[in-house]
Amino acid sequence: MKFRVFAALAVLATVLAAPAVWAPKAISQDAPSEAKRKVRSKVEPQYPATAKAMNITGRVKVEATISADGHVLGTRVIGGSPLLVNAAVDALEKWRFEPAAKDSTEVFEFDFDRSQ
């Protein structure tokens, strides 16, 4: 019992003491379609507390279908840690893009790295 309490407190202290440098960013965008859509507004992903506590870093690659009016219609995860994927997808679904003549599909990468 004492060990569990100690372990829980150690994990909590690690999470609370984690530096503010845990700031995931969208690092690149590759367009399978002919032209890249200009981003009007971005929401940066929130680094999951579990991933922070476990020191998990890495990239998440997500394909997004963007409507003609500029909102994200859907996403498809291409790769990345399961502990980081939801944060990237949740953020990307809130992005808004410039309007275009038709829907488009683009690939985005999010870098979850302590050094940023």
CATH number of domain containing 23: 3.30.2420.10
Q: Determine contact, residues 107/29, Cβ cutoff 8 Å.
A: yes
Query: 10 lies in which domain range?
Result: 2-112
Percent of the chain with pLDDT over 90: 64
pLDDT category of residue 24 using cuts at 50, 70 and 90: low
Which has the higher per-residue pLDDT, 104 or 18? 104
State how far Cα 31 lies from the chain centre: 18
Q: What is the DSSP letter of 32?
A: S
Domain count, the chain: 1
Low-confidence winner among 9-13, 33-37, 60-64, 110-114 (lowest mean pLDDT): 9-13
Note if the pTM is more than 0.85.
no
Once rounded to an integer, what is the mean pLDDT over residues 37-57? 93
Q: What's the CA gap between 112 and 116, in Å, rounded?
A: 8
